[in-house]
């Protein structure tokens, strides 16, 4: 029990590390919080013009969701605690203790935790995002669609109620963090990739 609680706390602290801010500082790039939406994430790092830094940010955000969940799985923790670790890592990215609780939108970190919980579900969500982006060229639409379908994928592929519940909570948080994008989508003003 104490080990599980410690791992949940460690997952939150790991999730709180802002890959975007660290990468930009090390690369001598502008603070990503001063770009675009103001969120520290790969998209705003890309807006600085450095594709390599954006890719590193994306991978870092994914790994800080993936690694704690894989550790929980390796330690043999049950679905309740694995789900708690996943949510803690995700919440750390959204509301990081090191950065005034102002974090990113969480898409890459969400993918990381889902891949850690069940890799096929993660791949199904990633494929959904890629398909939507290929067709509509709108990243946020792809993310929202993948987040919407992910709990269904989790149910069909795992049948584990705690994992499905974690998926639903992740989806709700992704929607909350994308509320401005949703308004833009409804108004037809969300920018397309490459525009």
**Whole-number Å distance between alpha carbons of 90 and 64:** 9
Q: Looking at residue 195, what is its pLDDT? A: 62
For 179-191, how does the pLDDT look when each residue is reduced to its tens digit (9 = 90+)?
Answer: 999 999 999 998 8
Half-sphere exposure of 195 (CA within 13 A, CB side): 9
For 49-85, how does the pLDDT look when each residue is reduced to its tens digit (9 = 90+)?
Answer: 778 988 999 999 999 999 999 999 999 999 999 999 9
For 83-94, how does the pLDDT look when each residue is reduced to its tens digit (9 = 90+)?
Answer: 999 999 999 999
For 146-167, how does the pLDDT look when each residue is reduced to its tens digit (9 = 90+)?
Answer: 999 999 999 999 999 999 999 9
**Whole-number Å distance between alpha carbons of 57 and 23:** 7
- Find the radius of gyration of the CA atoms of the chain: 16
Q: Looking at residue 96, what is its pLDDT? A: 95
**Whole-number Å distance between alpha carbons of 29 and 86:** 30
Mean pLDDT of all residues in 98-113: 93
Q: Looking at residue 47, what is its pLDDT? A: 79
Q: Which two tokens stand for residue 149?
A: 């379908």
pLDDT band for position 30 (cuts 50, 70, 90): confident
**Whole-number Å distance between alpha carbons of 115 and 72:** 13
- Other beta carbons within 10 Å of 120: 14
Render the chain in DSSP notation, one character per residue. -HHHHHHHHHHHHHHTS-HHHHHHHHHTPPPGGGSTTS--SHHHHHTTT-HHHHHHHHHHHHHHHHHHHHHHHHTT--HHHHHHHHHHHHHHHHS-GGGTT-----HHHHHHHHHHH-HHHHHHHHHHHHHHHHHH--HHHHHHHHHHHHHHHHHHHH--HHHHHHHHHHHHHHHHHTHHHHHHHHHT-PPPTT-
């Amino acid at each position: 029990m104490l080990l599980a609680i410690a791992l949940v706390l460690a997952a939150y602290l790991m999730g709180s590390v802002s890959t975007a801010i660290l990468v930009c500082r090390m690369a001598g790039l502008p603070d990503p919080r001063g770009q675009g939406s103001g969120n520290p994430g790969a998209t705003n790092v890309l807006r600085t013009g450095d594709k390599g830094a954006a890719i590193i940010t994306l991978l870092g955000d994914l790994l800080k969701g993936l690694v704690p969940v894989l550790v929980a799985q390796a330690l043999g923790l049950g679905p309740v605690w694995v789900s708690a670790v996943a949510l803690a890592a995700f919440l750390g990215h959204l509301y990081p203790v090191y950065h005034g609780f102002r974090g990113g939108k969480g898409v890459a970190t969400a993918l990381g935790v889902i891949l850690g919980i069940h890799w096929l579900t993660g791949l199904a969500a990633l494929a959904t995002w890629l398909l939507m982006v290929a067709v509509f060229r709108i990243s946020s639409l792809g993310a929202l669609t993948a987040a919407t379908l992910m709990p269904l994928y989790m149910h069909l592929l795992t049948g584990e109620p705690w994992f499905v519940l974690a998926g639903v909570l992740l989806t709700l948080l992704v929607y909350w963090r994308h509320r401005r994008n949703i308004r833009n989508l409804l108004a037809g003003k969300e920018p397309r990739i490459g525009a």
